[in-house]
Amino acid sequence: MAKTVFDVLRDKIEEDRSSAVDFLASGGAKDFTQYKEATGLIRGLETCLSHINGLARNYMDDDDE
């Protein structure tokens, strides 16, 4: 099955999220400010993924009708 725009966006956001998680896990945050920035980025990317998943479900449901 061909990738949809939702799949492409999801893949890129998951890649960015994994990078931020790896940054934290490897001790990349040198201070609390960097830690807060990375955790905020992860939270924002999780929100984006949630929105994309919801849009994709709605789009697929509309196609089924």
| pLDDT for the residue numbered 64 | 61
| pLDDT for the residue numbered 63 | 66
5-54 residue pLDDT tens: 999 999 999 999 999 999 999 999 999 999 999 999 999 999 999 999 99
| pLDDT for the residue numbered 28 | 97
| pLDDT for the residue numbered 62 | 72
- Chain position carrying tokens 């960097």: 34
Domain parsing of the chain, residue ranges: 5-64
23: nearest Cα among 10, 42, 50, 9: 42
| pLDDT for the residue numbered 42 | 98
